[in-house]
């Protein structure tokens, strides 16, 4: 009973050691800063593009309606309101749709700048450990 109990188990598995890879040591403060910056990236659904596309679609429909309704004046020389309203709707929705697409492009550029800020910080960390060849 004084012998140490030993248990031996054998299977046909070969452990493969991991390959040697490069790693960057990074300060905890820098890592926390990167985590905060990534958490602050807010990728909103760009509603400006959706609204702009809808308004341009309405604009196209109003243009087709205005063209198909014909002349703005009746045979007696009075202004017909239906084609005039279609032309007004066409111009108004065309301008609003174009403005929405313009602001959507600016919003996308601002979102890209936020992600670029984090990428810039990560590149600074990489530059600190560049190999001299």
Annotated domain spans of the chain: 45-112
Which of 84, 96, 30 has the alpha carbon at shortest distance from 57?
96
Contact assessment for residue 79 and residue 73, using Cβ atoms and an 8 Å cutoff: yes
The pLDDT mean for the chain works out to: 78
Structure confidence at residue 68 (pLDDT): 86
* CA 26 remoteness from chain centre: 29
Which of 58, 60, 66 has the alpha carbon at shortest distance from 82?
66
Residue 40 has pLDDT above 60, yes or no: yes
What is the per-residue pLDDT across 7-29, written as a single tens digit (0 to 9) for each? 666 677 776 777 787 777 878 78
Length of the chain: 133
What is the per-residue pLDDT across 56-108, written as a single tens digit (0 to 9) for each? 999 999 999 888 887 766 677 676 778 888 889 999 999 999 999 998 888 87
Structure confidence at residue 133 (pLDDT): 45
* CA 99 remoteness from chain centre: 19
Instruction: Return all residues near 101 (Cβ < 8 A) that are at least 6 apart.
Output: 48, 49, 52, 53, 56
* Predicted model pTM: 0.53
Which token pair is 121?
């910080």
Contact assessment for residue 93 and residue 59, using Cβ atoms and an 8 Å cutoff: yes
Comparing 91 with 112, which gets the higher pLDDT? Answer: 91
Residue 111 has pLDDT above 50, yes or no: yes
Comparing 53 with 44, which gets the higher pLDDT? Answer: 53
């Amino acid at each position: 009973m004084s012998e140490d109990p030993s248990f031996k188990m054998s299977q046909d598995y070969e452990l493969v050691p991991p390959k040697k890879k490069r790693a960057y040591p990074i300060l905890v403060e820098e890592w926390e800063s990167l985590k905060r910056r990534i958490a602050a990236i807010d990728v909103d659904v760009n509603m400006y593009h959706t609204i702009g596309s809808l308004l341009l679609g309405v604009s196209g429909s109003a243009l087709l309606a205005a063209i198909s309704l014909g002349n703005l004046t009746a045979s007696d020389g009075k202004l017909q309101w239906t084609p005039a309203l279609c032309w007004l709707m066409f111009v108004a929705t065309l301008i609003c749709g174009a403005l929405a697409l313009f602001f959507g492009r600016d919003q996308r550029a601002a979102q890209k700048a936020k992600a670029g800020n984090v990428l810039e910080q990560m590149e600074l960390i990489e530059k600190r450990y560049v190999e001299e060849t």
